[in-house]
Structure formats: structure tokens, C-alpha cells
Structure 1
């Protein structure tokens, strides 16, 4: 899904820890702080991946570490400093959470500068290989040296990318004016009834598949502009609420910190109960867009409408990375897509007349396996194996074409990897067979 979450929960969790910490917890503080540090690292990785749901496990881990501190004593001063140091927050941030504290605030630490990719992502831009919802399952855009195995030609330069923008970039957290309950929404148009959340927003993208070779038959452009929608079930809404939103909501309505802490515990219990009762369907992403598809020189052009959807279910890994914790040796996620493409030819040189059917049915499966044990052994941010397998059925001719793309990515920095790539099959618009293998710079944000 396109939703992303800021790390707003940390100061409030620190306040909760300060409330309950005392001298009896001193012997355990180092262990609990270490657990919180690990959870914070997991949050940063999930944010870098654009995995909004994956943030929940890190939040839960930190909550458990802080909740384990015995509720004894009222020695807040030492715990404020220790917790602030462990979380990378200043003691001023902790003091702000405890509004009754008479302590003078220390100078806040400067924020870490955002990367170029992060700034672009914050403004709604994204880069990946194929059109669809963003997240861990999506393959990265690649800029590669590839060998054409099928043709036996020399190594070519190639680029497979999608650059997109949507209007749902900014998230905000607050209190629902009708129910008085905390909620998290995007900046798109949204309807919220306390049980489900439907958010829709504009989306536009340019997708290119280009090579430096003389044979341009395999190259293509796709331009889209349309409307995307995210539907989220009540279970995901409850679980996606930050503990900080719950905590601050009670405080803003005049409640004490004890009242806020009790509200957080009630929220956690509600999430557990709802999770135990949840059904198969958790949410879905939909896109309807006008699409122009063309070959590299625009000699053949096809203009129409494309409808694409993917569900999120309670099946392990379907739309939500599984298992949640980055401490697992490996994690996986997968997304199935179904689509309909209805279009007419607006320009043609006759080369593609036999595959320019008006109606196409599309099915695609994206999957990613994150090898945490290998990333740790190599000292890399991440190591991921991903694949995308797409089938297109042409309704008029009755022909079906399959196209497989796979990547073995070794993370170098945020959003950047070195990848071994392999593609095999027939892709639109020409549906000519290709088989390529190479090494590439992979970019995804």
C-alpha cells in the first residue's frame, strides 16, 4: 500500500517508560534499552522499505520492552537520560512528554539529513520496476549491463524503470472528530466509519524498458494517469494506530498520563482480540488509469484504460511481510495482481497488428524473500531475492504470453543495491521472446 508512517510513537513510549520506571528497574534497564534500540533499527528499515504494516512489529517490540519495566518508584531523572540516549532522542524530547517536569530542557540534537530518495518519497515520488502498489514485494528499477542469451548478441546497456507520483504522500495522525478516537489517515480524499478506511488519490507514472542495442522491438514506453484507492479493514486500522496517537489523544482531551497509559494498554488488548478474530480479507489496492503504450520510436501506439487490483489477506506474507521481526533468519512477502486492459490502436506501422487485440486480461505474482542471515553475515543493509511473473491473455486471438523477471539484490545504501538480474519470456507490446542476464544498479524508493 502507499501509506507510510512517521516515527511519532517513540517520545510517547519514552514517557510511558519514565512513568513506570524506578530504582527497582535499574538492574534490567540496560537489557530493556537494548531491546528498544533493536526495535528502533527495525522501524528505520521498514520505513526505508516503504513497508507501513511492517512497522507494527517494531512498535510492538519496543512497547513490550518498555512495559516490562516494573511499575515501582518515581525516579524519573536517570531513566529520562538513559532512555533518551538509547533512542537517539534528546532529553528535551522526553521532558516535553512529561509536561509537569520542572527540569530545564537541554539543547535538542539536530535531525539527521534526509537522503535525496527520502525527500522525493516524502513528496509523493516513487521508483520501481513495474506498475503496482509500492512496498517490499515490488521489484527495483534496474540500470544494467545485460547479455541477450536468446539472440546471442553482445552485452547491451538496459534500463527498466517506473517513475511515479501520487497525491497520498503525506500522512497525518489525529483524533477523529466524530468518534473521539485516534486515527491515522493520508492526505488523499478519505471516508472513515470506524470499521474501514477507503482512501483515493491521483497517480501518474512513466514506465520505460529500453536497451542500447540496434533491435528496438523489445523496447517500450507506458504512460499512465488515473485514480488509485486503498481499502483498509478495521483490523488493519486498529493495528496501524501508533501508541503515540492513542497516548497523546487522551492527554489532549485532559486525561492524566495514567489515563493515557491505560488507553494504550486497552488499545493493545483490542488489537490482540481483533487479530484473533480477523477473517481472510484485510484490505486491497485498486487502480484505474488511462494508459498509452508504445514502442521505443512511437511508431506503434495503443491508447486505452487499465484496471488493476491486488488484495491483502491474512495468509502468511500476502501483502504483509512475514514473519514481522527482522530478527528472523528470513522474511517473505507476496502480492497477486489481476487486471483488465482495454485499448485501441492510435498509430501503427503494421509490425504489431497481429498482437494489438482490443482486450487483454492480466495476472501477475510479485514475491520477495529477504535473507536477513546472509545480510548480517556480509555486513550489508539487506539481501533480497525477488521475482515477478506476469501472464497476459489476448481475448481476440486467444494467445497467452508469459514474462518472468527476477533480481538478486545486495543492499549498498538506502534505496540502492547491486543486483543480478534475469528475464525470460514475451512482454508487451511486441510479445517477442527475450532472455537476458546481467548485473545492474537497482534503485527503489
Structure 2
């Protein structure tokens, strides 16, 4: 015969299995926040550290306080909203994302991860559930990097990837600094970035791609984030008149650049299923109709899910450029300007997400993120995982970004159960 305490624990476990968030309340919160900076096309423009960002921050903080959470802010403006746990000495089980947007952003990118976390807390309050570890919901400063660079600024400072001083000095196009704007909107906190403990971190997010929708699957169990290498490539030839100059005597920088661009795509295709190769920025000089191009500058973006494959892609593009320079006789420079290693998420967090989807009866599949998220930096500090839900046509960073309420609700339910798994609910 089981002891009374054991019976009580089993009853609590059974109750927790059927625990579900309030989908209507989550949707209403998302729509209310979206009104701050709402655009005529139905999107949101709420750039980091603007007055609209302050209004959004104030609204979310007011909701957290109404839910009984305490709020602390660090010196880069990251906001930590805590629901107390039974054991205050345990590091918090956290979730979150960001509430700043692109200039032509949507209602869900980032915002969903923050408000899903708030809905988790509201649900725990509704049912009187106490967790051993505290629960925290975080929103990070300037994830988008639209107004200030670098991208993922707040989480990057928190993880030690950028110094606070260098980020404070970053300027927007009007010459306003991050430090000045943080002070102006009243979100410079006292806490040193990175001093806030974390027991685990989860981030719920729309996929921002078409894979889940194409597969008709509700939950993406994110196993990691693609690593990337960004390069600037410059091909130097010689400008000449397009008419008098024979083809065999030309030093056409654009034709040589085009070969490298095609090889960028070919390399990605040789490393499926997660190889990515993109040329998204091109400058052609002198860009005149009847002048042979003398210089072409362009970007190269290579991505893959594991370091070995990404390193092989790097070696192949370098070898191809060296060979092309020798064959063409043109000078070609290649400079790597950014590198993020692939980020695998911790198995326990990935398993918690999968377990939640399975327990709740949602269709699910493993997924990788092709975009960067704050969870990438958090994975350097604590066990981390992500939950994806479909977005319409895979469109994001666009005012027409959309997601089904039932998918958002499902992802939030999975977040709830994954966090309870790590926080040990009672």
C-alpha cells in the first residue's frame, strides 16, 4: 500500500498530465501587444529602445506583476520576470524571447515566446501549482538588430559574447547610442549582465520557414541551430568598353563573380539536408550598360547543422576561389566577417519538448533552426531547447506573418509541460 505522500504525488502527476493553457487568453495578449506599433498592413514596427518599445515593455511588465511575478532588469535592459518556487536556492527554469520587431515585422516573431511564457505562469496560478524551482520569463534587448547592431544584443552581452561598453556605444542611423536610449526609456537596470543564474532555458517560436506547414506537423522539436559563416568577396578585373574589347581579352569581374556565386549554391547542395548557400548582396562597378565590370563585391552565406560539414563547405569555397583566381588571372579576395558555430541543444531539454508533444497528442518532428535566436547564447550557459510551431507559408520578418491560434496554443502547452518537467511541479 502506498504512503499518503506518494498517493498525493501520483494524483498531482495525473492532474499535471492534463494541464492546459488558456489559448484564448494567449491570443488576446498577443493581439493587445501587437497594437503597440501596429502597421496599416497588419504587422508591427516596434524597434528596439524606441518609445514604442518602452510601451511594449511596460505592458508586459505590468502583466507579469499582475500575475504575482517579481521583476529585475540588468544593465543592458534584459528583463527577468520571476514566479517564486518552493526552493528559492534552485536556479530558475526560464523561457523567453524578445518583443522588439523588424521595421516591417509581424505579430508573432519573438513576441510569442515571451507571452507564451507569461501564459505558462498564469496557468500555474490558475491551478495553484507550485514548482520546486522558480519559473522565469525573460525578454532580451534588441534581438532583431534592426536599429542597433549587433543582432541578439541583450542575450549576447548576457552570455559574454559582447562587452557592455562596446554595446553601449553602438549607434543608430541618427547617431543615438544604446546607452542614451536605454536611459531615455527607463530600462537601464542595476544587475550585471550574466550574473543572473539559469537552470534551463526554453524558447517557443514560430518556425519562420515552411517545413512544418509543408509536413502538416504541429510541433517542431528543435534539436539545434544551423552554424553560419559569412564572407565578403571582391573580384577585381578591369573596366573596358563593351564594344571594342574582344571576349578573349576581357578581364570581366562580373563573369568570374558569377562562377563563384553558382559554386556557393552548388556547395550547399552537396551537403544536404541542412546545407545552405546564399549570395544576397551584390555591388557591380561601374554598373554601366556598355562597360565591362571592373570590380564586383558580394556576400557569401554558408550554413550547416554540424561543424564538420560547415568546415568542409568553408574549405571548398576557399579552394574554388583560389582555383578561379589562378585560371582567370583576376585578383579575388575573401574575408570571413562573421562566424556562429552550430548550436546543438541539450538532450534533456530536447527530450522534454518531445515528451510534452507526445503526451499531449500533438504531431511532431525534429527540426533545426536556420535563423539565430537568443537560445543560441543561452545554450552556452545552461541546458537549452526550442519549440517551433508552423507559420503561414513560412513567412516571417514581414507584416503578413501569420500563425494559427490552435498551433500557438499547442506550442504553449508543450512549453508548459517541458518547463514543469525541469522545474519539478508539485
TM-score by length of 1: 0.26
Report 1 or 2 for greater relative contact order, CA contacts < 8 Å, sequence distance ≥ 6.
Answer: 2
Higher helix share: 2
What is the TM-score when the length of structure 2 is the normalising length?
A: 0.26
